[in-house]
Amino acid sequence: MPSEVRRRYGFNDGSLFISEEREDGVLIRPATAIPTALEEVRLKIQQGLDELDQGKGIPGEEVEEELKAMSKAFRSRKLK
């Protein structure tokens, strides 16, 4: 894909996109990832904020590992 087209539509390395096979070729368009369980994410954030308010904390390494695991799990889901 020419760089001018990539810039116009906001495609960068690692950009998400939707491809749709058509009779005359393939349609490629930008996509945005949205968590499917948004309420679950909000609850998790609230729990974390509550723990911070109570003076509790989690070592940075644990947070990083948990975020990586959550990201991997999210990316492995198939959107319906």
Tokens (6 digits) for 7:
């810039």
Is pLDDT larger for residue 18 or for residue 78? Answer: 18
pTM above 0.75, yes or no: no
Please tell me the predicted confidence (pLDDT) of residue 27: 92
Please write the tens of the pLDDT for every residue from 27-78.
998 888 776 777 888 888 888 888 888 878 776 777 778 888 888 888 777 5
Q: What is the mean pLDDT of residues 12-30?
A: 90
pLDDT band of 80, cuts 50, 70, 90: very low
End-to-end CA distance of the chain: 28
Task: Enter the tokens of residue 14.
Answer: 């690692």
